[in-house]
């Protein structure tokens, strides 16, 4: 009779569980319900940054790594790094609130402002946490 190596069975189950249930982004599944609005917000936020002289052009904004706008559960996540221009920040918040209201509360939006640059965040050790200076959530029912 052949012996069953339970360590192999358990490790196979753990790997299968990891791939099946661990996170939607690992499986390549993201909530893109509000993808059109996310792309519009990318354009509008870049225009706000250019209009407030935070960056000179879209490629300049992207090179400075000030904004990261990604799909999130039932909406959009916006992370801002090293943005010190309060007028630009205020305009971004107003723009996001308008999108939230247009969606009648269906599109959730989270804005996080970090006092450091994205480069500084990437250079931190994994045990050093980076907390946002400000976090705003627009959430519906």
Question: Residues 100-124: pLDDT tens digits?
Answer: 999 999 999 999 999 988 888 888 8
The parent domain of residue 128 ranges over 30-138
Q: Which residue has the higher pLDDT, 22 or 71?
A: 71
Indicate the number of domains in the chain. Answer: 1
pLDDT, position 9: 47
Q: Is 82 left (phi over 0), alpha (psi -120 to 50) or beta?
A: left
| Residue 22 pLDDT greater than 60, yes or no | no
Q: Are 67 and 48 in contact (CB under 8 A)?
A: no
Interatomic CA distance for residues 24 and 70, integer angstroms: 14
Answer yes or no: is 74 within a domain. Answer: yes
Answer yes or no: is 35 within a domain. Answer: yes
The mean pLDDT of the chain is: 84
pLDDT band for position 127 (50/70/90)?
Answer: confident
Answer yes or no: is 9 within a domain. Answer: no
Question: What predicted TM-score, i.e. pTM, was given to this entire model?
Answer: 0.75
3-state secondary structure of 54: coil
pLDDT, position 128: 84
Answer yes or no: is 122 within a domain. Answer: yes
pLDDT, position 13: 44
Residues in CB range of 1: below 8 A, 6 or more apart: none
């Amino acid at each position: 009779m052949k012996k069953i190596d339970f360590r192999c069975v358990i490790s196979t189950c753990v790997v299968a569980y990891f791939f099946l249930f661990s996170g939607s982004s690992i499986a390549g599944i993201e909530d893109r319900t509000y993808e059109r609005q996310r792309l519009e917000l990318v354009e509008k936020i870049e225009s706000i940054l250019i209009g407030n002289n935070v960056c000179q052009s879209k490629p300049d904004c992207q090179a400075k790594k000030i904004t990261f706008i990604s799909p999130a559960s039932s909406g959009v996540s916006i992370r801002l790094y090293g943005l010190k221009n309060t007028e630009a920040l205020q305009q971004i918040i107003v723009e996001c609130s308008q999108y939230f209201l247009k969606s009648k509360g269906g599109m959730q939006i989270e804005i996080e402002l970090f006092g450091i640059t994205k480069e500084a965040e990437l250079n931190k050790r994994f045990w050093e946490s980076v907390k946002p200076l400000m976090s705003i959530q627009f959430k519906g029912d």
